[in-house]
Amino acid sequence: MDRLSILKSAYEILENVTPLRQDCSSLCGQACCIGTKSGDEETGMFLFPGEKELLAGCEAWMSITSVGHIRPDLYLAGCKGSCPRNLRPLSCRVFPLTPYLTENEILLIKMDPRAGQLCPLARETDRSVLHREFVKAVRKASVLLISDPGIRAYIRDLSRMLDDYTSLPWYRLFGGV
């Protein structure tokens, strides 16, 4: 299966599942969907390899910015407030979870440690607060995604970045919140 087909299949797997059985945006005021800026630095969600091409034509509701200084093929999607739900990027679909590859290449589905500042669900230590079907769909989509060598490398790099993030003293002191 080629990368575009893999991405489209992952989108389908994650299309109709959400972290909670009801709309979780009432907990945070849609913090994960509101475009924000921190000084001159735009924030957003990283795109998986190939998503920039898949999301071509979405400039009306999303900005896509290269962050090649981190990784040559890395792009950041910045939401402008609302999006066609069927076109939201993978990072949005799996939020507040993230696929994670251990040093031994074992795939885990983890609570994204960066999400704690936005998402009340990410502050929970017990992942069982999340809808079981959502967690299963994230795992199924992630297994499919790592079948592509480029996406697997991206998830591996992301995992090491998250390792670095969680080793920061402030994170250890405050639990990421």
Buried b (16+ CB within 10 A) or exposed e, 119-141: bebbbeeeeeebbeebbebbbbb
Full domain range(s) for residue 26:
3-171
- Answer whether residue 123 is part of any domain: yes
The identity of residue 72, as a single letter, is P
DSSP letter at 163? H
What tokens were used for 85? 């739900």
- Answer whether residue 177 is part of any domain: no
Asked whether the CA dihedral 113, 150, 45, 157 is positive or negative, the reply is positive
Mind listing the pLDDT tens digit for each residue in 130-148? 889 999 999 999 999 999 9
36: pLDDT strictly greater than 50: no
Mind listing the pLDDT tens digit for each residue in 40-86? 455 788 999 999 999 988 888 888 999 877 778 889 998 877 778 88
- Answer whether residue 121 is part of any domain: yes
92: pLDDT strictly greater than 50: yes
- Answer whether residue 176 is part of any domain: no
- Answer whether residue 29 is part of any domain: yes
Number of domains in the chain: 1
106: pLDDT strictly greater than 90: yes
Of the two residues 114 and 76, the one the predictor is more confident about is: 76
Query: 159 in helix, strand or coil?
Result: helix
Name the residue among 58, 29, 34, 30 with its Cα closest to residue 45.
Answer: 34
166: pLDDT strictly greater than 80: no
- Answer whether residue 12 is part of any domain: yes
- Answer whether residue 84 is part of any domain: yes
What tokens were used for 16? 């109709």
Name the residue among 45, 38, 34 with its Cα closest to residue 80.
Answer: 34
* pTM of the full structure: 0.86
- Answer whether residue 157 is part of any domain: yes
